[in-house]
Amino acid sequence: MSVTVGEGFAVVPEPDGLPEPLPEPAVDELRLETVLGALSDPLRLFIVRKLLLERERFDHPCGWFGIDRPKSSLTHHFKALRAAGVIRQRQYGLERRSHVRVDDLDARFPGLLALVAAWESADG
């Protein structure tokens, strides 16, 4: 699988034979205030940044992120990112895997993902 680096983050091409994505807004329905609202939470910003900078495959299950939170809390955060149109999720049996909607977000909000990739937490 080839990985390209765009604006400081990895872009992994979509493999063949993926399950259909879970419901999400269409590209023309993406709204900046909704995307920024989803990214305003530090944990969600961490999730998106990790997907942009550290991804090894096309998509990842929530356990890959190494976040020590209850499953219900993580489900809430992933759902908020998907509802805002930041990530795309697919169901693989009992697990959901996520990836950032890079092409869609770049088309609507050029440079936004580069800012997310460049962000560094005040906590270190």
Q: pLDDT, tens digit, for every residue of 80-109?
A: 999 999 999 999 888 888 889 999 999 999
Cβ-count burial of 63 within 10 angstroms (0-12 exposed, 13-18 middle, 19+ buried)? Answer: exposed
Strand ranges in the chain using DSSP code E only, listed in sequence order: 4-6, 9-11, 60-61, 87-92, 95-100
Q: pLDDT, tens digit, for every residue of 1-50?
A: 444 445 667 677 777 888 899 999 999 999 999 999 999 999 999 999 98
What gap in Å lies between CA 80 and CA 74, rounded to an integer?
Answer: 10
Q: pLDDT, tens digit, for every residue of 50-88?
A: 888 887 777 777 777 788 888 788 889 999 999 999 999
Identify the band that residue 124 occupies on the pLDDT scale cut at 50, 70 and 90.
low
- Residue 98 near residue 60, CB atoms below 8 Å: yes
What is the DSSP code string of 12-48? PPPPSSPPPBPS---GGG--HHHHHHHHTSHHHHHHH
Tell me the residue type at 61: P
